[in-house]
Amino acid sequence: MSENCRRLETIMVQGSREKEDIKGAISTPIYQSATFKHHGLNESTGYDYSRSENPTREELENTIAKLEGGKAGFAFSTGMAAIDAVIRLFIPKDHIIVSEDLYGGTYRLFEEIYRRYGIETTYVDTTDIKKVEESIKKNTKAIFIETPSNPMMRITDISKITSLAKAFKILTIVDNTFLSPYFQRPLLLGADIVIHSGTKFLGGHNDTLAGIIVANKFIEEIKFMQVSTGAVLSPFDSWLILRGIKTLAIRLEKQQKNAIKISKWLSECKRVKKVYYPGLKAHKGYDISVKQTTGFGSMISFEVNEREIIEKSLKKFQTIYFAESLGGVESLITYPYIQTHASIPEDIRNRIGIKDTLLRLSVGIENVKDLIEDLDRSLNL
């Protein structure tokens, strides 16, 4: 098999192989250096200052670009810094269509920061292609989608969105955090730019912050933003994300296996009103998910019957941690209404389903029986 034909799992374990370490290190070395020595005038080793380039970060960027099937990758200090760099591609009076169901921090960035700089946004149910098309204006420059969305697990048809975007000569930007390139590769479905909170599944251990961009367009512009604003990922954190990616495939398979069993258990639980998980055949968007992904992931949201259940149950969890974030090996349960999505106005939250009875569960790799027993003990008071 040629180097160019290595499969995803192999690339995850072995990295990009763009540059072999001169001493033969199997694990990419951590180049914990802010600056690099020159051998003489105009004689650079290719590395000058770590804000511009660093060998450890470069290996991560090359690896994630290969995994997503993109032309170039960029690693940032957080997921929000990565989104910020993408939004900086636009200028005042540009218009962006955004998934109405999305992470609260992304909503806050659009509404409280970039709106004051003249970036216009329209929030749309991007699972409805007709609504998306009706929202396109003369000044529309991009469609920004989350799929599966956070936290309602809405599934947007990426191919249809990208076809629509190309017809109007606008960009498609996809936040691929929930599935990672192991389960979904938006660039191969026509998207132009993919974003990740690398903190989540790519890192996988709840121990570091990171943001990732993989792009097929505006590569030089994104690189300029990265270098100029300086929100780059440190060498050590780059190494942690690389280490996390090595086990991405086996982690996601185990997490998904657990999530399928838990989603079915929740569907039978008397205290649970509704379960949102793309792997359930009754889930709206299931057929699209089967078409465009190789897995359903391990994120589950579910609505309980009464608000009072929330406060009581969150105190009872023992195996599952009540904490923000997602994607790590430890299972985490989150209350989006006052945690991850508090920045979104209450009327919007209620309209799209982020009610005060909704919980979001990031399923880890623990024994699934322990997780179900913990859910049973906590929910069935």
Exactly one of 103, 123, 277, 335 is catalytic; name it. 103
Exactly one of 88, 160, 200, 360 is catalytic; name it. 200
Active site residue 369: no
Rounded Cα–Cα distance for residues 376 and 313 (Å): 10
Rounded Cα–Cα distance for residues 162 and 160 (Å): 5
Burial class of residue 96 (count of CB atoms within 10 Å of its CB; 0-12, 13-18, 19+): buried
Active site residue 200: yes
Exactly one of 175, 192, 237, 374 is catalytic; name it. 175
277: helix, coil or strand? coil
Contact between residue 223 and residue 82 where contact means Cβ atoms under 8 Å apart: no
Residue 27, amino acid: S
43: helix, coil or strand? strand
Rounded Cα–Cα distance for residues 43 and 13 (Å): 34
Active site residue 349: no
Contact between residue 197 and residue 210 where contact means Cβ atoms under 8 Å apart: yes
Residue 162, amino acid: T
Exactly one of 6, 51, 131, 257 is catalytic; name it. 51
Residue 138, amino acid: K
What the block records as the tokens of 302 is 């579910």
What the block records as the tokens of 267 is 């569907």
Compute how many other C-beta atoms are within 10 angstroms of the C-beta atom of residue 49. Answer: 12
First-to-last alpha carbon distance for the chain, in angstroms, is 56
Rounded Cα–Cα distance for residues 87 and 69 (Å): 22
Nearest to 155 by CA among 179, 127, 128: 127
Rounded Cα–Cα distance for residues 188 and 158 (Å): 10
DSSP 16: -
Active site residue 103: yes
Catalytic site residues? 51, 103, 175, 200
